[in-house]
Amino acid sequence: MELVLTTEDGSAGERGRVVAPLDRRLSSRSPTAPVMIYACGPERMLAATAQTAMKYGRPCQVSVERIMGCGLGGCYSCVVPMRGDDGGAHHVRSCLAGPVLAGDQILWD
């Protein structure tokens, strides 16, 4: 397993935003090579990571950051818009379904 850390200031891992090193690695890999991408961080970074993974047809799991008022799903403060199996939109409670979700299923816009 290859772990790649990226920070904007270079304090850990590669310096810069995550998309450039991710794009370099994915473009150099065989399309059949096993790859799984995991990401945590700000929502815009997660969206960019998921979009890059989708560009290469690779799975991506993202850890969303939502305020979880109750942690039991009752308050609905942690909902995330997702693409359903039927292609329609629905919301999941990240405290119950996550916080790690499939990046290609989240409706980022």
Residues 8-43 have pLDDT tens digits of 898 998 898 889 999 999 999 998 899 999 999 999
Q: What is the pTM of this model?
A: 0.86
CA atoms of 109 and 48, how far apart (whole Å): 11
Nearest to 12 by CA among 47, 41, 46, 51: 41
DSSP state of 55: H
Contacts of 52 (CB under 8 A, 6+ apart): 19, 22, 23, 26
Which pLDDT tens digit goes with each residue over 72-105?
A: 999 999 999 999 889 899 999 999 999 999 999 9
